[in-house]
Each structure stands twice: as C-alpha cells, then as structure tokens.
Amino acid sequence: MAYENDMNLKATELRLGLPGTIDESQIKEPSFLKSNNKRSSGDMDNSANEDECSPVPKAQVVGWPPVRSYRKNVLQQQKKNFDSDVLGMYVKVSMDGAPYLRKIDIKVYKNYPDLLVALENMFKFSIGVYSEREGYNGSEYAPTYEDKDGDWMLVGDVPWDMFVNSCKRLRIMKGSEVKGLGCL
C-alpha cells in the first residue's frame, strides 16, 4: 500500500475532512494481504487507482446550491434514462453504518474487479472473494445493487454490461443481512 509507510505521520497530520470521514489509520486490514483473484494487477498504487476511479466530488456545503431535495431525486432518477455515454452513469452508493452516501460513475469501470476496488477505497473496507455458489466470502460486507425491477441483487452474478445497464443504485450490506444472502 502506498500509504502504509506514511501511516505514522498521517496520524499526527492535521487535515480537513468531511465529518464522518474515517481516519486512514483505522483501516482494519490492509487489502493487499487478502487473496482475491478478482483484484486488478498490483503495479498500480492506490493513489493512482483513486484518480482513475470515481472523481472525488467537491466538498458540498449543506444548503448549497439551493436546490430542493425532491428536485434532486427527480434528476437522479432521470439521469439513468439519459444518454449515458455522454453523461456518465452516476449511481448512489450507500454503506451500512456510514453517515452519508456517495456517488460513483459506473461507466468509468470496465469490469467488476475495478468497481470493487473503487468501492473498497471509497469506504475503507474490504470485500472478500466472490464465488457463484457462496457470494462474497471472507468479510462481513457484501456489495448489492438495486435493479430496474426494484430488486436487490448481489453484485457479480450477471455479465458486466448487463449489470451496468440495470444497476440503479448500490448498497454495501454488512453483518447479519449478509449471511442471509450467503445462504441462498
């Protein structure tokens, strides 16, 4: 991990962060220790990975811009119907226990490993190994998504293109609910 050497310095560094941002030194398990054959090749260090993946949104001030929340919802729904090659396909990502949601452009990724790495970086957690039979093994998290019919599906079951076209939002489930999925 590119930042691992700096961890001690980071702990003493003053930095501005949005409320709820987890301090990097609190990560439980550095991802490189896990064996995950879905992970993209390791010669890209983390910071480059982050640049390539979701563009970090500007820190948003509450109350700005002055747009009503129902209007934001309307727009987010409709954006998916729109010409996504031009506009990108931004979907909301929620993680159980996180204080606020994020948004990522799933069109930016080419396959599941890219997407999963980006999610791991964004929320500072690790996902585990995917298998068709058992879902995601090895962590208490499972990435799920809401499809066009409104059903919650496990990420990874369908071909990537089909996923991109049917994914409306993502949710990283945690804990006992995950075990429920694993039993299916």
Partner 1 sequence: MAYSFPEEVLEYVFAFLSSHKDRNAVSLVCKSWYEIERWCRRRIFIGNCYAVSPQIVIRRFPEVRAVKIKGKPHFADFNLVPEGWGAYVYPWISAMVRSYPWLEEIKLKRMVVTDESLELLSKSFKNFKVLVLSSCEGFTTDGLASIAANCRNLRELDLRECEVEDLSGHWLSHFPDNFTSLVSLNMSCLGSEVSFSALERLVSRCPNLRTLRLNRAVPVEKLPNLLRRAPQLVEFGTGAYSAENQTDIFSNLVEAFSGCKHLKSLSGFWDVDPAYLPAMYYACTGITSLNLSNATVQSPDLVELIIQCPNLKCLWRERELIEDMTTQVLDYIEDAGLKALPSYCKDLQELRVFPSDPYGAEPNVSLTEQGLVTVSAGCPKLQSVLYFCRQMSNAALITIARNRPNLIRFRLCIIDPQAPDYLTLEPLDTGFGAIVEHCKELLRLSMSGLLTDRVFEYIGTHAKKLEMLSIAFAGDSDLGLHNVLSGCESLRKLEIMDCPFGDKALLANAAKLETMRSLWMSSCSVSYGACKLLGQKMPKLNVEVMDERGHPDSRPETCPVEKLYIYRTVAGPRVDKPNFVWTMDEDAVLRLS
- Per CB under 8 A, residues contacting partner 1 are 55, 57-58, 60-72, 74-75, 77-79, 81-82, 87, 103
Q: How far apart are CA 58 and CA 102, in angstroms?
A: 12
Cβ burial 162-171 (10 Å sphere, 16+ → b, else e): ebbebbbbbb
Asked, as a colleague might, if the bond just before 57 is cis with ω within 30 of 0, I would say no
For partner 1, the closer CB: 28 or 68: 68
For partner 1, the closer CB: 33 or 59: 59
Q: How far is the CB of 132 from partner 1 (least distance, A)?
A: 32
Residue 158 backbone class (left: φ over 0; alpha: ψ -120 to 50; beta: rest): beta
Q: How far is the CB of 59 from partner 1 (least distance, A)?
A: 11
For partner 1, the closer CB: 60 or 111: 60
Q: How far is the CB of 68 from partner 1 (least distance, A)?
A: 5
For partner 1, the closer CB: 37 or 69: 69
For partner 1, the closer CB: 55 or 175: 55
- DSSP class per residue in 93-122: EEETT-SS-EEEEGGG-SSHHHHHHHHHHH
Identify the H or E element spanning 137. Answer: strand 135-137
State how far the alpha carbon of 171 is from the alpha carbons of 1, 27, 35, 79, 167, in Å: 26, 20, 23, 19, 11
Q: How far apart are CA 18 and CA 93, in angstroms?
A: 17
Q: Tokens 């990502």 appear where?
A: 93
Q: How far is the CB of 70 from partner 1 (least distance, A)?
A: 6
Q: How far is the CB of 77 from partner 1 (least distance, A)?
A: 8
For partner 1, the closer CB: 88 or 138: 88
Q: How far is the CB of 152 from partner 1 (least distance, A)?
A: 18
